[in-house]
Amino acid sequence: MCLWWAGISAVQHHICLGVWGVGVSVRLMYMRDADPHLFNLPAVLAHAFSSGELDWFEPLLMVMEGFSRPFTYMGYYQDVDREVDLSSMEKYGVELVRRWKLGYGNIFMDRVTGAWALAMPSPLYQEFFKTANEAFDILVGRVFLDTVRKLGVENSYYAPPNDIRVRIDESRSKKLCGTGVDIAGVGGDRSALYFNAFTNLRHPDPELPFKVLKIPREKIIEKGFTDPREYFASIEVDGGRPPKPGEFRDILVETVREVMGVEVVEAGLSKEEKIIWDRYKEMLTSSRFKMRRSTRLFKASMPPGTRYGFAQIKYRKLVQASVAVDSEGIIRAAMITGDFQLIPADADEEIVKAILGFKHSQYGEAADRVRRLVDERGIMIIGASAEEFIKPVFLAAEKALEGGE
């Protein structure tokens, strides 16, 4: 079943008494064997609304029980060449999908994955979530956690800010659910919140992700597992049985209603929304967008006579830097990548511009400039402080002078 396009007259916006004093009518789009690119739809609507391309959109809840083909869902800021093996992806029929304006880590999903997403325009979302962190606490720590527990995963728990894990013993746990949240056009009447989340409904193939993603098996061993099949969590194994068709949808919708106090009505996209989605999908599926952060392309565009360096540091999130420096150690080009998140999106480009021209030895002065920029622009870096965020750039510059990566 795929509710794809319909008018929205059946879900006219209304306000009534709810859990927080205000409740809203939310559209439900339910799909089985969904096109992987549809997972970007809520982000597209949110950003189209914040930019003025879309006059208004009714809150949207999407629920997907399985995708039509395997794919890797890469963060907006991740370096494609350091995350996936492109030749293996082509060999095994795995598609590359990059998130629209949303960071965090790379996720492998396929026919066994259950996923859901939510988009709400201002001022409606502000009745439920004052900040992105509060959205995580409610949508992950309450809605999603309650859902997977109702599906039988009783030993699951919320691991802030964006995971649900299954406890194995006192020292080990495995990831059951991953999520991401962002606010497009932060603040004001044109902002919008969007959220997405996933879990394995049935147990996944434990080998295919290792064939296409650059995940060393040692990483699994470091977490206390000797067999990858033990590391991958699923509702089927950790809840005792696979959900029946439609069960994930029904329990999730029931929990959204309970926690948020909203009405949920099945409906599709408006004509205006479908036109916008068709336009964005063409861009999202383009090679240029998929390769927007790429070591190979960065090296190819380096200024003549510069040297390449790379460094990475794992803070709360991973921050990487590719840098081109001249013979005097002056940073002439830089690319910051990783599984962090930025609000507003694309703030990494402003930060990079602020540090170009500094020498490799001027980290302190550059950090002062970036701190001021972050404060003045109200930039939120989820996963690192302003000083931490640019530290890999200067480490990479030093490595470049020493002979490169």
What does the pLDDT read at residue 6?
38
Residue 29 above 60 pLDDT? yes
| Measured CA angle at 358 (ends 352, 359), to 5 deg | 130
Dist. CA 137–CA 130, nearest whole Å: 11
* Fold (topology level) of 295-402: Enolase-like; domain 1 (3.30.390)
Dist. CA 38–CA 68, nearest whole Å: 11
What does the pLDDT read at residue 3?
40
Strand pairing of 60-67 and 25-34? parallel
Q: Which whole number is the average pLDDT over 19-34?
A: 79
Dist. CA 297–CA 293, nearest whole Å: 8
Residue 8 above 70 pLDDT? no
What's the pTM value of the predicted model, to 2 decimals? 0.87
What are the residues whose beta carbons fall under 8 Å from the beta carbon of 313, sequence distance 6 or more?
Answer: 319, 388, 391, 392, 395
Residue 16 above 60 pLDDT? no
Q: Which whole number is the average pLDDT over 243-253?
A: 98
Q: Name the least confident of 59-63, 102-106, 221-225, 243-247.
A: 221-225
Confidence bin at 154 (pLDDT 50/70/90): very high
Which sequence spans correspond to the domains of the chain? 11-289, 295-402
* Angstrom distances, CA of residue 396 to CA of 146, 241, 349, 402: 44, 48, 17, 10
* Residue 113 burial by Cβ neighbours in a 10 Å radius (0-12, 13-18, 19+): buried
Residue 367 neighbours by CB distance under 10 Å: 20
Nearest residue to 333 (alpha-carbon basis) of 310, 315, 367: 310
> By the 8 A CB rule, do 101 and 345 touch?
yes
Encoding tokens for residue 177?
């659910």
Q: Does 11-289 carry CATH code 3.30.930.10?
A: yes
CA quadruple 299, 302, 308, 310: dihedral positive or negative?
A: negative
Name the residue type at position 251: I
What does the pLDDT read at residue 7?
37
Residue matched to tokens 């995963």: 153
Dist. CA 119–CA 54, nearest whole Å: 13
What are the residues whose beta carbons fall under 8 Å from the beta carbon of 41, sequence distance 6 or more?
Answer: 60, 62, 117, 119, 277
